[in-house]
Amino acid sequence: MISRPSALAVAAGTLLLAVLPLAHAADAAPTAAAAASTPSSAPADEAGGAMVTVTGIKSPLEVPYQRAYDATKKVQAASSGLADLVFKLRDKDPVANPMHVSVEYGETSTPLALDPSNGFVLVPDDAAAAQNAALVVNRQSHAVSVQVDLRPHPPTGPLSIADTARLIEAGRAARATLLPWYARIVTPTIKAVRVCSMDKSAQFALRSADGTEAPLPPVSATDVYGRPATCADMPDSPSGQQQASNTLVAPAGSTYDFTGSFF
């Protein structure tokens, strides 16, 4: 569970929430990976992630799974599934080997797929929580930090203005359940949903029921993975001739993020 998180920071279009309290191996149950004294590896899983290897790593980072599990369940409940809690691993001392993270307990090792920013969304596993599992990273405990980020989880299909309003409301509810009152005072409020494309010439628009499209002004920003991108902010209420049912037109593969401000 996240207690006493740091202030929210808005940077490059990402609403960064907090630093997750970390723990050394002594704070979590011993795991197969942490106990291994010889090189080990395993084939990739169906999701494309590789099994964690802690070859030559002294005191690999372990975070109690229960903390991430509790925080994820809180966000899911508060947002009705419309916001995701993303755990980002920050390499303080990058090495040649790619970063890997896995859920470890007993003889069970489940690799987690990382996105381009070394982030992952945890799918709560009741069995892992009951077994006092740990999240194990193939880095020394002092060489990596864990941060958490709220991202919108848009419904399937075209995103409407009405959907955007619900996403923002869900994100605010999730933020409120994660942060105590004294942290909310000094942290930005979620204001918008930003859509981004890696295509420098990307165009965004709102489409009405009759097929008419009204362009959304593009901005140069960064996407959810911190990459330079062309973006636009979705309105959360109709204006002019718009209707709440008007939907976003965006390039395939676009990403979504929350943005915020103090005012």
- Residue 224 resides in a domain: no
Structure tokens at 10: 């808005």
- Residue 219 resides in a domain: no
- Taking the CA of residue 37 as centre, how many other CA atoms within 13 Å lie in the half-sphere pointing to its CB? 0
Residue 42 has pLDDT above 80, yes or no: no
- Residue 136 resides in a domain: yes
* 110-114, 161-165, 186-190, range with the lowest pLDDT: 186-190
pLDDT score, position 220: 95
- Residue 21 resides in a domain: yes
* Better-scored residue on pLDDT, 247 or 240: 247
Distance between CA atoms of residues 214 and 23, nearest Å: 50
- Residue 174 resides in a domain: no
What is the extent of the structural domain holding 128?
9-151
Residue 45 has pLDDT above 90, yes or no: no
Give the residue-averaged pLDDT of 236-247.
90
Give the residue-averaged pLDDT of 154-174.
95
Query: Can you state the percent helix, strand and coil of the chain, rounding each to 5?
Result: 20, 35, 45
**CA angle centred on 186, ends 181 and 192, rounded to 5°:** 95
pLDDT score, position 146: 82
- Residue 223 resides in a domain: no
* 77-81, 143-147, 199-203, 227-231, range with the lowest pLDDT: 143-147
pLDDT score, position 184: 83
- Residue 33 resides in a domain: yes
State pLDDT tens for residues 82-118.
Answer: 999 999 998 887 776 888 999 999 999 999 999 999 9
Count of domains for the chain: 1
- Residue 133 resides in a domain: yes
Q: Over the chain, what is the mean pLDDT? A: 80
- Taking the CA of residue 258 as centre, how many other CA atoms within 13 Å lie in the half-sphere pointing to its CB? 34
pLDDT score, position 27: 37
Confidence band of 58 (pLDDT split at 50, 70, 90)? low
pLDDT score, position 140: 84
pTM over 0.85: no
